[in-house]
Every structure is written in C-alpha cells, then in structure tokens.
Amino acid sequence: MSIPHRLLGYFRPYRVLLILAVVCIVFTTLTTLAIPWIVGRNLIDSVILGEKSIKLLSLIALSIVILAALKGLFSYGQNYLMALVGFRVITDMRNQAYEHLQSLSLNFYRRKRTGEIVSRVINDVDQLQNALINTAVSFVANCLMLIGILGLIFYIHWRLSLFALAIGPILIFTANKFGLWIRGFSSSIQAKIANISSILQETIGGIEIIKSFGGEKREIKRFKDETMRTLQLSIKRTRLIAALTPVMEMLTLMGLTGILWYGGREVVGGVLTTGELITFLGYIAMAIYPLTQISQAFGVYQQGLASAERIFEVLDIQPEIKEIPGAGEIPRVKGYVRFKDVYFGYNEKELVLEGINLEVRPGERIALVGPSGAGKTSLVSLIPRFYDPLSGTITIDGHNIKKIKLASLRKQISIVGQEAILFNGSIRDNIAYGKAEASDEEIIMAAKKANAHDFIIEQPSGYETQVGERGLKLSGGERQRIAIARAILKDPPILIFDEATSAVDAQAELLIQQAVERLMHDRSTITIAHRLSTIQNADQIVVLNERKIEEVGSHQDLLSRGGVYARLYKHQFRSR
C-alpha cells in the first residue's frame, strides 16, 4: 500500500468534518471567482463601456462587498475545519506510534538508539503535521481555484485558453523535479536529526562519565559535526525550496506575456470584448498565486512523505513476542518454574544459552552466578517473555508460558533490577505503578516493609514528593527501596532479583537487604548474584559458564567441589 493511500486511512474517521471543510472551500472558490467576472463582464462592458448606469454601478459594488464578506466567512470555516482534522489525525498517528512502540520486543530496543526512536515519534510527526495542516488547505483550495479558473477561461475563449495552457506541462515537470530533490534532502535531514537526538540522549544520560574522563570537547565536536552536516543539507534543501517559487513565477509570467499578445489581437479583430479580455487576464493573473502555492505545497508534501515513510517504517515492525491465538489467563500460581532443553540467542547465529534445564520449586530461592557474559540476565529475561527461546520450553506451574497471555504472565512476576528505574512523578505513584488502585494504607504498608517509609515522611511533601526524571532527586539506596516497595505492593509469587546493593553504602545496603528478605518470603526467587557472600543461604546456587549450567548445589557443596563457583568465591574473597 502506498504512503499517500495509508495516510488517507487516518482521515476516514473525520469524513464529516472533511466534507464540511470541502464545502467551505468550494464556496470560498466560487465567491473569489465571481468578483473578477462581475468586474470584467458587468462593470466594464455593461457600465463603463455600456449604458453607464449609476444604479447598476451601485448594485455591482454592493455585490462585491457581499461576496467579499461571504468569502471571508467560508475561508475561516475551511481553515479551521482542515486544521482541526489535521490536528486530530496527527494525534491519532502519534498515539498509534507510541502504542506500537510499547508492543515491540526488547530486541527492537537493543538494535535501535533511543534518540532515533524519539526523533521518529516527535520530529517526523511534527514534520508530517506541518505538511497536513499548513499545506492541505492551501493545496485543496488552490486546486479548486485552478479548476474554476480553467472552466471560466474556456467559457470566455477556448482557443486563447489552449494557448495559455501550453505552459502547463513545463510547470508540472519543473514542480515534480524540484519535489523529488526536496524529498531526498528531507529524508537525509530527518535521519541526521535522529542522530542528533541519539547523541543528546547518550551524552545527557552519561554526563558523569563524560566529565570524569574529560570527554567534553570530544562530545562537543561530535555534536557539532552532526549539526553541521544537518545544516549543510538544510541549506541545500532551502535553496531548492527558495528557487522553486521564482522559477515557477518566471515561467508563468512568460506565458502571461504571450497571452496578452494573442488576446490583444483577438480584441482588435472583434472576437473578444475589452471586458472579456480583462476578465480573462484577471483570471490568468489570479492563477499565478494558486500555481505558486501548489508548487510550494508540493515541496512541503514531499517533505511530509519522507517523514511519513520513516513513521510507517516503525509501525510496520512486527513485535517478536506475540500472544498465540487462544492464549489464556492463569490464576495466581504457586511459583514452580521449569526450563527444559532451552536454547537462546539474540540471533540464531550466536547462542547465549545452550541446553538449559532448571527447576525452581514454589518458595525456593535460587541464585544465579557466573562470570560476566555467561547469560544470567538473558536466562531470567526469558521467564516474563521479554525474549523467546529458540527452542525448548519454559513452564510455570505446568503452563507453557507461550500459551499464557502476556499481561497474565507478567502479573505473576516482579523484577527488582540492579538499577532502580523510577518515573518522573510522586513517590506514591512510583510505588503504586504496578497496582494503580492501591489504597494509601497498602502503599504505606509496602513502604514500611521496604524500609522506605521513614525517609519518605522526612521529604518535604511526603509520599507526594516528586522524584524527578529517573528518580534522580533521590539517592541510589532510596530509589532501590522504592523499587522494592513497588514489588511488595504487586505481591507476585515469582521474584527475579538482580542484586542491587553493590552501588550503595553499608547502611543503605543493610536496609535494602532487610527489605529484600521480607520480599523473598514465601516466593519463588531467582537472584542474579554479584556478591557471592549474599547468597550463601540460597536453596540452590546455579553456576552458568560458557552458555551452559556448569554446577548446581548449595554453597558448601559447591565450595567442596573446587569448580567454577569455588574459584569465583576465592577470587572475591582475596580481592577484599
């Protein structure tokens, strides 16, 4: 399906408003075209060169005033209605793009830079908005104006009209050529803007690293280089857009000169009256403006198509994680998780996990350990179906997770990550994120269990305190405790815990560890362990090494074997 055809689909819900807008455009065109006709045929031929009636002159003047007033009224209607439709279409498209992004799998976000995604939802949609709202009215109105002018000039003198239209193919060819060039530059510019957004996102998010390594000048140069390339492309596109209007005007005026010469001969020969020639020339002069506006609108339209193409590229990406037909809901599970012959890789050519067989019994505490890159995070990401294994099955209480609705599956699981992610809003909203209907009493109870209540009530606005973007107004330990309170409030039977105490001080670590113990109570827990000293009481310790499960056992059992776990433990002990 072509891009213009797809865009038309967004206008269908607003057909009534569009029809009203077109009606206003038609009447605006009719009132505009009527004025030259009255002036040329009635005022000049009938009054000035004819009977010279003051009464008829007054009537003509009154008619022109009434037509001008009606034109203003209908013009207001067409602009307002078309803008209203345009805003609604753009809002629908932006909402659809955001909703679609929410449905895409994590693998998509691994491949795409954040800045590029943001650019497509914001910058490209804004560019398309400009094309739809600012030029749609102009394009439709001016096309109708040209159609009306063509009808009238053919009625006045068809041979002179054919002479006037000889310049048409030249104008169309020129506008089309310029439009293709403009569209090409627009696509390149939007891609560069996406790069700028990505650099901005990366550098703002990593500003501490940049400053600590003295990388400010390097990042400034990288940013300036990208903006300079964008500037150069923008200048080239602007030159094309700026050249389009004078080129079109020059071609049009050359044609107008020829029309004046040929029309003058027809008046001298008695084929045309003076009023008819003036009316004809008035319509031809009137056609210059809509032709110019159409050529400009065509350039903006090409820019809009380039943006629409980039938006549809995102909308056409299919989520890798899908619910199969007939997927069902499941009640609260006991927490029996089983991996059977699971193979996984972010692409089929490079496996991350091979032949994983693992059981987590209800209420059991499992710790995952192993060297960096062994696949620990990948393994736990398969349980809530952030990714799907290439082969093998994962079940919860005997239910194949692929046959469970995603919302129902993820309701059973909470993940407390190493970096607590909070959203810009109040502390209360962040704790209640997984249970929006929670009462104040439930939120406070969860905060107390997470050892967060005391520091929360010391905040200026208590639970209504704004945490800032990513929770940066709070310390790392405070963010972690709010994340734990959020998990406690959700009350999941299965907990995935990525040890979060490595980046906080000793006091915060103690408070977090106490909260974690409360959170783990009576839940099936899988902990990715970075500090082996924190998992000595785990029911099972699973050692991942080179994509496979190397060892399984208790702390003492694994130490006595002298294998991978023993070497990791001794290494950490010596490094203290």
- pLDDT over 70 (residue 501): no
Rounded distance, CA 131 to CA 134, Å? 6
pLDDT attached to residue 53 = 64
- Where is average pLDDT lowest: 76-80, 166-170, 434-438, 525-529? 166-170
Residue 329: how many CB atoms within 10 A of its CB? 10
Task: Encode 512-525: b = buried (16+ Cβ within 10 Å), e = exposed.
Answer: beebbeebbeebbb
The reported pLDDT for the residue numbered 393 is 95
Q: Look at 434 and 559; give whichever has higher pLDDT.
A: 559
pLDDT for position 44: 67
How far is the CA of 68 from the CAs of 81, 287, 350, in angstroms? 20, 18, 72
Q: What is the spatial distance between Cα 445 and Cα 489, in angstroms, rounded to a whole number?
A: 8
Residue-wise pLDDT tens digits, 326-351: 889 999 999 999 999 999 998 878 89
Average pLDDT over residues 509-524: 77
Residue 146 to residue 155: CA distance in whole angstroms: 14
pLDDT value of position 396: 94
Distance, in Å, from the CA atom of 351 to the CA atom of 549, rounded to the nearest integer, reads 14
pLDDT digits (tens, 9 = 90+) for 249-307: 787 777 777 777 888 787 777 788 777 778 887 887 787 778 777 777 777 777 788 88
| pLDDT above 80: residue 205 | no
Packing angle, helices 216-268 and 158-165, rounded to 10: 150
Task: Evaluate the CA torsion angle 194, 199, 202, 207 in order and state its sign.
Answer: negative
**Do 230 and 350 touch, CB atoms closer than 8 A?**
no
Domains in the chain, please, with CATH?
3-315 (1.20.1560.10), 337-575 (3.40.50.300)
Would you say residue 214 has pLDDT above 80? Answer: no
Do the beta carbons of residue 544 and residue 356 sit within 8 Å?
A: no
pLDDT at 575 over 60: no
Separation of CA 404 from chain center: 29
β pairing state of 524-528 and 365-369 = parallel
Q: Which residues contact 454 (CB under 8 A, 6 or more apart)?
A: none
How far apart, in whole angstroms, are the C-alpha atoms of residue 552 and residue 532? 14
The predicted pLDDT at position 542 comes to 92
β-pairing verdict for 365-369 and 337-344: unpaired
Phi and psi at 353, nearest 5°, equal -130, 140
pLDDT of residue 45: 61
CB contact set of 512 (below 8 Å; sequence gap of 6+)? 451, 477, 480, 481, 484, 500, 501, 504
Range among 156-160, 231-235, 401-405, 514-518 rated most confident: 401-405
3-state helix, strand, coil in the chain (%, to 5): 70, 10, 20
Question: What residues pair up with 326 in beta bridges, in sequence order?
Answer: none
Is pLDDT above 90 for 106?
no
Are the beta carbons of 396 and 409 closer than 8 angstroms? yes
Q: What is the average pLDDT value for the chain, to the nearest integer?
A: 83
Q: How many CA atoms lie within 13 A of 283 on its CB side?
A: 31
Handedness of CA 277, 283, 288, 289 (dihedral sign): positive
Report the distance separating Cα 88 and Cα 93, nearest Å.
Answer: 9
Burial of 398 (0-12, 13-18, 19+ CB in 10 A): exposed
Lowest mean pLDDT among 180-194, 442-456, 548-562: 180-194
Give the residue-averaged pLDDT of 490-518: 73
Sign of CA dihedral 505, 507, 508, 512: positive
E strand segments, 129-218:
none
Separation CA 285–CA 252 (nearest Å): 9
CA distance 118 to 137: 28
Helix (H, G, I), strand (E, B) or coil at 333: coil
DSSP code string of 473-504:
TS-HHHHHHHHHHHHHHH--SEEEEE---TTS
Contacts of 308 (CB under 8 A, 6+ apart): 3, 6, 7, 124, 128
**Cα(526)–Cα(499) distance, integer angstroms:** 10
Q: Does residue 379 have a pLDDT over 90?
A: yes
- What's the pLDDT score for residue 543? 92
114 or 440, greater pLDDT: 440
The tokens 């998010």 sit on which residue? Answer: 205
Q: Strand locations in 397-536, DSSP E? A: 399-400, 413-416, 494-498, 524-528
pLDDT at 338: 95
Two tokens, residue 450: 């997470």
More confident residue, 150 or 341: 341
The predicted-structure confidence for 4-52, as pLDDT tens digits, reads as follows 788 888 888 998 998 998 899 899 989 988 888 877 666 666 666 566 6
The DSSP line for 252-310 is: HHHHHHHHHHHHHHHHHTTSS-HHHHHHHHHHHHHHHHHHHHHHHHHHHHHHHHHHHHH
Specify the pLDDT at position 49.
Answer: 59
Say which residue, 416 or 302, is predicted with more confidence. Answer: 416
- Residue 375 near residue 547, CB atoms below 8 Å: yes
DSSP 360: E
Least confident range from 149-153, 207-211, 489-493: namely 207-211
d(CA 339, CA 348): 19
What secondary structure letter does DSSP report for 451?
T
Query: pLDDT at residue 197 above 90?
Result: no
H or E element at residue 104: none
Neighbours of 315 (CB within 10 A): 14
